[in-house]
Structure 1
């Protein structure tokens, strides 16, 4: 979902809300304790962000040229960290939504 989100959305302003939504969905889908849920979300969002960044960097290189790709690489670490933090926050929100739904059903 992370890779599809970053590739299908050409607008960079919508990536963070979509990543938050993906984190919420994964937090609801997983039925693990909070610590395991955050750890798996951290690993998934780091790997997904790196793969999506590499694919988008290749696309940018062939579309806009090498200089624009170099400019994008300069803030790559910041964007990967930001995407991972937003995804983990969404995962925690999704975990609490799941626990509320589970306890209100009983």
Structure 2
């Protein structure tokens, strides 16, 4: 879901709310303890963000050229960290939503 979200949305302002929603869904789906749920979301969002970054880097390189790809590389660490934090926050919210529903 992370890879599809980052590749299919062309508007960069909608990526963070969609990632928060994906985090909420994963928090609801994962019915373990909170720490296990956060750990799995952390790993999933790091791996998903890195894969989405590599795919978008290849796309930008072939579409716009090397200079734009360098700009994407410079912005990559910040975006991976922000996407991971937002996903983990969404996972915690989803875990608490599931506990309230039960």
Assess same fold via TM > 0.5. yes
> Are 1:55 and 2:55 an aligned pair?
yes
Cα distance in 2 between the residues matched to 1:90 and 1:29: 12
Aligned to 1:82: 82
Deviation at residue 75 of structure 1 after TM alignment: 1.2
Partner of 1:26: 26
Q: Which residue of 1 aligns with 2:100?
A: 100
Normalising by structure 1, what TM-score? 0.95
1:53-87 CA-partner distances (Å, limit 9, x unpaired): 00001001111111001011101001000000000
Q: Distance in 1 between matches of 2:57 and 2:93?
A: 30
Task: Give 5+ residue unaligned stretches, structure 1.
Answer: none
- Paired residues, what number? 102
Please give the TM-score of this superposition, normalised by the length of structure 2: 0.99
SS in 1 for 2:99: helix
Tell me, what secondary structure is at the counterpart of 1:75? helix
